[in-house]
Structure 1
Amino acid sequence: MTDRTLIRNAKIITCSAPGTDSAPGTGTGPAVIADGDLLIEGDRIARVAAGRIEIDSGSARVVDLHGATVLPGLGDAHVHMSWPLDFVFDHVAVANAPAAPHALDVAAVARTFLESGYTLVVGAGVSQPLDDVRTRDAIERGLIPGPRVVPSGTMITERGAISADTGMTTVVSDARDLREAVSRQCDTGVRALKLFVSGDGIVPEYPSDDLYMNDEMLAAAVDEADRYGAFITVHARGSDSVAMAARTGVRVIHHACFLDDKAVRELEARRDDVWVCPGLHYLYAMVSGHAEPWGVTAEKIERSGYEREFRAQVEGIGLLRAAGIRILAGGDFGHQWTRHGTYAAELQRYVELVGMSPQEAIDTATRNLGPLVGLDVGQVRAGHLADLLIVDGDPLVDITVLQDPDRRRAVVKGGEFAYVNPRMFP
C-alpha cells in the first residue's frame, strides 16, 4: 500500500503562525483555506494548497472530504490518564487499585483521547507511578490506540503541604530531596514532572493562595529536569506561586487563578519559554453545580472559595492575553462533571467566557503546544507531522463542533487513519 495520501476538497484550518505567508504550497500561508488539498507522505505533510494538487492517481490513496474541515490534531496539556472513565473523586482508591484492571482503565482513557480528536497529551500527574510511561510505550508499540504522550509521574509535594499525607505523592523536604526525586522519575522515562507549589481551596485546610517550596527548590528541579530533556510543570493557583514558578524556569504553570502585577511581570520576562494552562472549564463546572450530584455541594464550593477563584481566573486570562503569554488548553478532565471525551469544552469556555475568537481558542490546543514539547505538531503545514482531525461543520463558526462525536469523521496520526467514525463509515 502506498505511503502517500491525498486529502481532497477540504476546508483547511492551518493554525499557521501570523506573518508566515510564504511560497505557495508550503502550508505556511493563510490561516484558513476555504477549499484545498493536502498531500501526506509517510508520517509528514508534504504539501498544502488552495485548490487541487495534481498527482498521478495511482501514486496515492485519495480521500475526498466533500467540504469537511481539516485542522491539526488537538492537544491537552493537563492530563490525568490514571483517572478511569467512571472516576469521581476517589484518588486513593485508584492509586491502590489492582494493577491489571487499572491498566485496562488507563488504556480506555488513551483510546478516548484519540477518538475525541486529541493526538497529543502532556501528563500532569499519575495515580500509579508508571501509568503514563507504560501507556506511552504500549501506544508506540502499536498495542493500544492512543495519542502521542509526554509522560508524567507521581506528583511531587513538600512535607506538610497538600497531598503529603495521602500516600499518593512523592514528598520532599529540600532542594536536595527534590533534585533526587526528579532524577528518579526521569530515569523511568518521565518527561513532564508535576509539583505542588500552592494549595487548592477544594481542600479547605490548604487554601489556594498557600505557597509551598521555594526558589532554591524549584531551580534545582528545573536544572535536574533539563539534564534529561524533561521539564517541570506546577500546580500554582495563587499569585505568589505563579511568580515563583515563572522566575525559576518552570515551563508550564497550571491554573494561575490569582494574578497580580508581580506575577504578570515575571511571566512577561519569560514570555518565550513559559506557558500557562488554566483549566477554566473545571472551575466553571464546579461553580455551576455540575459536581453536586457527586457530593460536591454548594456549601463545599462556598468553603473552597472557588466562586472568587473562577472570577479571578476569567480576569487573569485577559491579563495573560494582553501580556502575550501563551495559553495551553487542558485541565483536569476525567471527573464525572468534566468527563473524559469532553475535553474540547475548555475551548468553548475560552470563547464564551474570556472573549477569545474560535481560532485563538483552537490555537491553545494546537499551535501553542508544538514548541513546548519540541515536536512539529499543531499546524497543517508542509514538513509537520500529519496529525489531523477531520470534522463536519466549521469550528471557526461554532466551536462546539469539536465536542460532537457525530461530527468527528476521522483522526489521522502520523499519516495513518488512527480512528474512523464507525457511525459515519459503517
Structure 2
Amino acid sequence: TGELAADGGLARLPFDAAVVLCGNMVEAVLPAPPSASVLESAERVLNCKGMSVVPGLIEGHAHPSFEDYVETTDAGDMPPEEGVLHTVRNCSRLLQAGFTSAFSAAAARVRQDVVARNWINAGYARGPRLLAASPEICPTGNLGDSSALHQPRQSFGLVADGADEVRRAVRLCIREGVDTVKINIGGDLVPNNLLNADRTDMLSAYGEAEVQAACETAHGLERRVAAHCRGSNDVRLALACGVDVIYHCDFAANDSSILDALQQARGRVFVGPAVGLMHALAPDVPDVKLLLDAQCRTYAELRRRGLRIVVGGDYGFRATPQGTNANDLVHFQTYFGFSAEEALVSATRVGGELMRLRVGQLRPGYLADLLVVDGEPWVESGALLATEWSEQVRTPGIKAIVQDGVFVRNDIWSV
C-alpha cells in the first residue's frame, strides 16, 4: 500500500491504494486498506506506506551501445566484442536507474542493440524491455560519417547515398534484426552549418527521395523509422515522408506551418528533444547554446500544442553518463516549462505508447513494471535521480524496482 500515481499520467489524483500483481501483470489497483481476503490470498505483501508507486520509467531516446563517447569516432574505435559487452552493461545500468523499458534511437553497430535485446529477452542479462535500433543511416559528409578522403574512419553511422543505397541499408539492418531504422535527415556536420546570429537554421543532408525510400522500405517490412532532424526543413521532410519518431526538431519553431503540421500529426508521430547532451555542452560550445535556445522555443510550443514528447537526452557520452538518464525530467521543467507531473507523464505513459507495449501505466492488464519511490515524483522529480553511476547506478529515492512482476531491487523488505 502507499500513495499511487494511478496511470502514469495522473488521470486521477494520487490516492492510497493496494496494487495487486499476479505473475507479470497488474491484476488490480484497489483502494487502501486492502480487504482481509486480498491480504489472505496474497503470497507476499510489501508495505509501502508513506511511499509512492509509479510505473517504471521509459527511455525514449536511448543509446545503450554508446559508452563514454567524446568523439564520434569513439564508436568505431571500440572493437565490436567490447562494444557488445558495454551495451549489455549499459542496459543493466538503465534498469538500475529505474528504466524498465527503452526505445533505442541508434546503435553503434548494426547488431549491438539486437544482441543485447536478444540476451535480455532470453534471460541471460538484465536490462529494460528494449526495442533495438539500427546505426544512424546517413549520407556522405553528415553526422555519422567521420571519414576523410585520406583517412577512412568508422563512427556510429552507416553511410548510404541515394535512394537505392538507402533501401539497401534499411533492408540490411532489418535482416539483422532491428526493430527501428534510424536515419539522419539533417545533422551536425553538414558544410556551412556553423550557427551564428545570422544563421538561425540548419541544412538538410538527405533529400526527399532518400527519406521516402527509407520510410517506404521500413514500413513495407513493418518497422518504424526514427530520424535525426535539427533544421526546419528536416522536420518538413520527416512529416511528408511518414517518419514515425522525429528527434530534436530544434528549429521547427522558425516556421509556424511546420508547427501546424506537427500538431496535425500528433496522433501519429512522437518527438523528443534529447536535451541532456545539449544541457551538458551548451555552457562551453556556442553552437550548442544556440541549438538549446532554439529547442527551448520549439518544445515550449510543442508542449502547448499537445505533441507526444518523450524523454531521453543522448546519454552515453562522457558529458552524459549512462545511468543519469532521469535528469531529463528536470531538464524538461527547466527548459520547456513542464511541471514535474507532465515530465513524469512523458517518462511513463507517453513512453509506453512509443514502445507499443502495455507499459507506462498502473492499470489492470498492464505489465507489472513499477517503482516504489520515497517521495512524490509528480511534485518533485529529485527522488528519481541517480547520485552515483560509475560502477553501480545508485538511486537512493527509488526503494524498489519491479520488472515483469519480479523484484530487480528491493530495499524495503527482503523477499
Q: Determine if the TM-score, normalized by the shorter chain, exceeds 0.5.
A: yes
Please tell me whether residue 286 in structure 1 is matched to residue 281 in structure 2.
yes
Secondary structure at the aligned position of 1:361 is classed as helix
CA drift at 1:205:
5.5
> Match of 2:22?
41
1:101 aligned residue (63, 68, 82): 82
- Distance (whole Å) between structure 2 residues aligned to residue 365 and residue 378 of structure 1: 8
Q: 1:421 to 1:248 in 2, by over 3 A?
A: farther
Kept in 2: contact 1:243–1:262 (CA 8 A): no
Q: State the shift of 1:117 in Å.
A: 0.3
Does residue 14 in structure 1 map to residue 6 in structure 2? yes
Q: 1:234: Cα distance to partner?
A: 0.8
**% identity of equivalent residues:** 28
What is aligned with 1:411?
401
CA contact (8 A) 1:114 1:419 kept: no
Instruction: Indicate if the aligned counterparts of 1:35 and 1:67 stay in contact, CA closer than 8 A.
Output: no
CA shift for structure 1 position 167: 2.8
The answer to whether structure 1 residue 176 and structure 2 residue 164 are counterparts is yes
Indicate if the aligned counterparts of 2:39 and 2:45 stay in contact, CA closer than 8 A: no
- In 1, the alpha carbon distance for the partners of 2:143 and 2:399 equals 42
Structure 1 stretches of at least 4 aligned residues deviating more than 4 Å after TM superposition: 203-208
CA separation of 1:47 and 1:217: change in aligned 2, threshold 3 A: same
Give the letter aligned to residue 3 of structure 2.
Answer: K
1:352 Cα deviation after fit: 2.2
Q: Which runs of 5+ in 2 are unaligned?
A: 148-152, 195-200, 387-394
Q: Which residue of 2 aligns with 1:310?
A: 292
The answer (yes or no) to whether the contact 1:247–1:267 under 8 Å persists in 2 is: no
C-alpha contact 1:43 1:414 (8 A) present in aligned 2: yes
1:243 correspondence with 2:257: no
Residue 213 of structure 2 is aligned to residue 215 of structure 1: no
1:68: which partner in 2? 51
The aligned counterpart of 2:109 is: 128
Aligned to 1:5: none
Q: Which residue of 1 aligns with 2:375?
A: 393
The one-letter code matched in structure 1 to 2:280 is: A
Question: What is the deviation of 1:128?
Answer: 2.6
Q: 1:21 — aligned with what? A: none
Q: CA deviation at 1:370?
A: 2.1
Which residue among 337, 342, 349 is the counterpart of 2:319?
A: 337
In structure 1, give the amino acid aligned to 2:70.
F
1:256 aligns with 2:249: yes
1:365-389 Cα deviation digits (max 9, x unpaired): 1111222221111111111111111
Query: Partners of 1:65 and 1:204 in 2: how far apart?
Result: 56
Count, aligned residues: 390
Aligned equivalents of 1:373, 1:223: Cα separation in 2:
21
Cα distance 1:370–1:266, how it changes in 2: closer, same or farther (>3 A)? same
Report deviation, 1:222: 1.5
Q: Which residue of 1 aligns with 2:95?
A: 114
Cα distance in 2 between the residues matched to 1:190 and 1:143: 19
Mapped partners of 1:339, 1:114: distance in 2: 14
Residue 183 of structure 2 corresponds to which residue in structure 1? 195
CA separation in 2, counterparts of 1:56 and 1:325? 42
For 1:188 and 1:378, the matched residues in 2 are separated by 28
Cα deviation, 1:327-353, whole Å, max 9, x if unaligned, reads 010121122221111111111011122
Residue 17 (structure 1) shift: 5.5
- Other structure's SS at 2:119 match: helix
Provide the C-alpha distance between the structure 2 equivalents of 1:72 and 1:362, rounded to a whole number of angstroms: 9
Q: CA deviation at 1:354?
A: 2.0
Judge conservation of contact 1:74–1:117 (CA < 8 Å) in 2: yes
Counterpart mapping for 1:366-381 below 5 A: 366-381=348-363
Gaps of 5+ in 1: 1-8, 19-29, 289-297
Question: 1:15, 1:371 → 2: CA distance?
Answer: 13
The verdict on how the C-alpha distance between 1:175 and 1:100 changes in structure 2, with shifts beyond 3 A counting, is closer
Cα deviation, residue 136, structure 1: 0.5
Q: What letter is aligned with 1:326?
A: R
Change in Cα spacing, 1:320 to 1:161, as seen in structure 2 (3 Å) is same
CA contact (8 A) 1:11 1:32 kept: no
TM-score, normalised by the number of residues in structure 1:
0.86
TM-score normalised by structure 2 residue count: 0.88
Amino acid at match of 2:4: I
Which residue of 2 is the match for residue 232 of structure 1?
Answer: 225
- Counterpart amino acid of residue 2 in structure 2: A
**Per-residue deviation, 1:95:** 2.5
The question of whether the paired residues in 1 share the 8 Å contact of 2:330 and 2:381 is answered with: yes
